[in-house]
Structures are given as structure tokens and as C-alpha cells.
Amino acid sequence: MFYSTEDELARRQKSKETARNLIKNVIEFVNTDSLYGRDLWAILTALRGPDTNNMVVKALTTQKIRGAVGLSSNNSANAYSSEEKPEMILSLHSFETTHKENLHFINHHNYAVEALMNLGFIPQVFADR
């Protein structure tokens, strides 16, 4: 599809405004909602993944969380996402002993799993697996 320069500038401006408004809305919600603001923050902080670039850990955690909230594997951020069913996301308490370098992130992941259950993205029944 061909866009004139004016159309392209308008499209970019609208996209930028949408992104800014989404960020403002998320931050306002996290700042003010005592019921689910913490859950939203837990999921957002787990979406990035571990700092170690350990793809095994990322595949077991981040990619599944991204998929559970609906991030397509074909997304504009080129972020890896899992197409597995959300119930395949498990708490990783036993994983902590074998991947100690990722302990900080595994804590983020476990908080996100709880938040995904609280918000209905994955069933509560999978909490203790």
C-alpha cells in the first residue's frame, strides 16, 4: 500500500499518541488500583525476561507468559512468544535450585503466574503444579 508523506506522518503521529496513552493508562492504573495494579505490574515486569539471555529459561518463562496474555509470535517487537496453551505455565519453585543465576527473574515469573491466575488468563487449578 502506498502512503503519501502526509498520510504517513499522520499515521505515525496517531500510533505515537496511542502508545503514549497506553503507557499513561498503565501507569495510572498501577499507581491507583489497589486490587489489580500489582498484578498488572507483575506481568509487565515478567514480559521482558531474564537478563542472562538464557534461552532455556526464557522459553520456560517469558515466552509462555507472553503467549498467555495474547502476544502473537508474529508481533511488531519481534519478541518470542509461545503458542502453547496457557495452562502449561507453571510455578518454577523447583527450578530455582538449578538456575540460581536467574533467581531474581524466577521470582518475577512466579509473581506473574499468580497474577495471570488472579486476572483469569490461566486457570487457578494450575497453581500448585
Q: DSSP string of 99-123?
A: -GGGHHHHHHHHHHHHHHHHTTSS-
Same domain, 58 and 119: yes
Same domain, 28 and 46: no
* Rounded Cα distance, 110 and 95, in Å: 11
Question: Dihedral (C-alpha) 61, 129, 93, 78: value to the nearest 10 degrees?
Answer: 0
* Rounded Cα distance, 129 and 125, in Å: 9
Instruction: Give the domain range for residue 121.
Output: 35-126
Enter the pTM of the model.
0.80
| Number of domains present in the structure of the chain | 2
Same domain, 76 and 22: no
Instruction: Provide the residue-wise pLDDT of the chain in tens; the chain has 129 residues.
Output: 566 798 999 999 999 999 999 999 999 999 999 899 999 999 999 998 888 877 888 888 888 899 999 999 889 888 888 877 665 666 555 565 556 667 788 888 889 989 999 999 988 765 544
Q: Do 62 and 47 meet the contact criterion of CB atoms below 8 Å apart?
A: yes
